[in-house]
Amino acid sequence: MTDWRSRSTCKDVDPDLFFPDAGPLPRSVARICQRCPVLITCTFDALRRNDLGYQAGLSKAERDRIRRWDRAQRARMERSAS
């Protein structure tokens, strides 16, 4: 287990909680992530990977939306720099 994962609040939680049917973030998962000491690291990891389920308190759809926004911002910055 990666070191930061060993400090997470979800390390001893049933992983199935993070893979519910599509829909809004379950409150139980939100509460687990909100009090997690490695939330920031987990967020960067989740955005770097393309996994399914909830991670860092975000659904896959929310993470995809952040990635699209990030790509658009980078493209805009590259256009304005050239």
**Binding interface with ligand SF4 (CB under 6 A):** 8-10, 32-33, 36, 38-39, 42, 55-57
Shortest reach from residue 77's CB to ligand SF4, in Å: 28
Contacts of 60 (CB under 8 A, 6+ apart): 51, 52, 53, 54
In the complex with ligand SF4, which residue's Cβ is closer, 39 or 47?
39
Shortest reach from residue 69's CB to ligand SF4, in Å: 20
In the complex with ligand SF4, which residue's Cβ is closer, 4 or 72?
4
Shortest reach from residue 82's CB to ligand SF4, in Å: 37
In the complex with ligand SF4, which residue's Cβ is closer, 36 or 63?
36
Could you write out the three-class secondary structure of 31-64?
Answer: HHHHCCCCHHHHHHHHHHCCCCCCECCECHHHHH
How many CB atoms sit inside 10 A of residue 4's CB?
13
What's the first-to-final CA gap in the chain, in angstroms? 43
